[in-house]
Amino acid sequence: MNEGQALAWPFLFLTLANCYFSRDNIMGHAKNKIPSCDQCELCTFTVFKSVTTQDLAEVSDSKINLFIPKGQRIFSEGNMPNGLYALYSGKVKIHKNAISGSEQIIQLLAPGDVFGYKALLCAEPYGSSATAIEDSLVCLISQDVFNKILDKSHLFKKDIIFTLSDDLDFAQNRIELSNKPARERVLNALLSILTVYGMNEETGELNAKLPRKDLSSLAGLTLETTIRTLTALKGECIIDFEGKKIFIPNKAKFLNTTTVV
């Protein structure tokens, strides 16, 4: 075990303890809910879609199933990685502390997404943190198994590179958006929620109830500016809201608005 791994293990133990013992009989709960990898439909369209049956069985045998309560930190910026995380159910946000000390959400994750891989590939501390937005089930795949499959499978390596490329494009768009007006930034944040989590086509409700603080963090604005902008968008009948629930009454109008601002 190298020095980085030795420093990371206490944090990993605390993370596992918080996840396992935050509710009664949580280990049984998680294992009953997360299937083996060969039975998991998510594996058919994630970075594991090209992994051989034999390697997938090794992933399944070695993974740790975690129940992450809403608001629980999965890993923290500055800690060393110990494995690859895969979201089975729930919602997770990737965020980091801005220079001002405020939180900045840089990505929203949905079931099927893997995360924590950049630090794993580079053997460096996490550059951001991951926290459950709602109760979530997460698979933790060991660093050894991840590296073994990465060395063996060119297709798996290719899929990881594609994922990194997508993240780079997303980060570039976020940088460009930081210079845009508040209205465009809020619309883009809402579009991100719609794209990642979808909406109820009958009611128009977005399938994620983010508090205003998280929405303002995603838009990169102050809470006051975000609330004021949401109220203005509601006045234009582009959105509607009730508490944390946000509705898009006319999806076509909303999408057209986000493309022309």
Per-residue pLDDT reduced to its tens digit, 81-99: 989 999 999 999 999 987 7
Residue 107 neighbours by CB distance under 10 Å? 19
**CA atoms within a 13 Å half-sphere pointing along the CA-CB vector of 256:** 5
Nearest to 209 by CA among 226, 190, 184, 224: 190
Contact assessment for residue 189 and residue 208, using Cβ atoms and an 8 Å cutoff:
no
CB proximity list for 37: less than 8 A, separation 6 or greater: 43, 48, 56, 57, 59, 60, 63
Residue 177 neighbours by CB distance under 10 Å? 14
Write down the pTM of the prediction. Answer: 0.83
Sorted by where each starts, the structural domains of the chain and their CATH numbers stand as 3-176 (2.60.120.10), 180-260 (1.10.10.10)
- β-pair partners for 87: 138
The yes-or-no verdict on residue 18 having pLDDT over 70 is: no
Candidate from 9-23, 27-41, 66-80, 117-131 with smallest mean pLDDT: 9-23
- In the chain, the N- to C-terminal Cα span, in Å, equals 52
What pLDDT is attached to residue 79? Answer: 94
Average pLDDT over residues 122-129: 93
Candidate from 8-17, 81-90, 135-144 with smallest mean pLDDT: 8-17
C-alpha to C-alpha distance for 146 and 208, rounded to whole angstroms: 31
Of 237 and 10, the one with more pLDDT: 237
Average pLDDT over residues 31-48: 82
- β-pair partners for 75: 130
What pLDDT is attached to residue 260? Answer: 57
Confidence of residue 109 (pLDDT cuts 50, 70, 90): very high
Contact assessment for residue 74 and residue 85, using Cβ atoms and an 8 Å cutoff:
yes
Per-residue pLDDT reduced to its tens digit, 63-76: 999 999 999 999 99
C-alpha to C-alpha distance for 112 and 157, rounded to whole angstroms: 17
What pLDDT is attached to residue 4? Answer: 45
3-class DSSP state for residue 209?
coil
Mean pLDDT of the chain: 85
Average pLDDT over residues 43-49: 86
Contact assessment for residue 26 and residue 16, using Cβ atoms and an 8 Å cutoff:
no
- β-pair partners for 97: 103
What pLDDT is attached to residue 261? Answer: 53
What pLDDT is attached to residue 25? Answer: 37
Contact assessment for residue 171 and residue 106, using Cβ atoms and an 8 Å cutoff:
yes
Q: Find the helix or strand (DSSP H, E) in which 144 lies.
A: helix 143-152
What pLDDT is attached to residue 17? Answer: 44
- β-pair partners for 205: 247
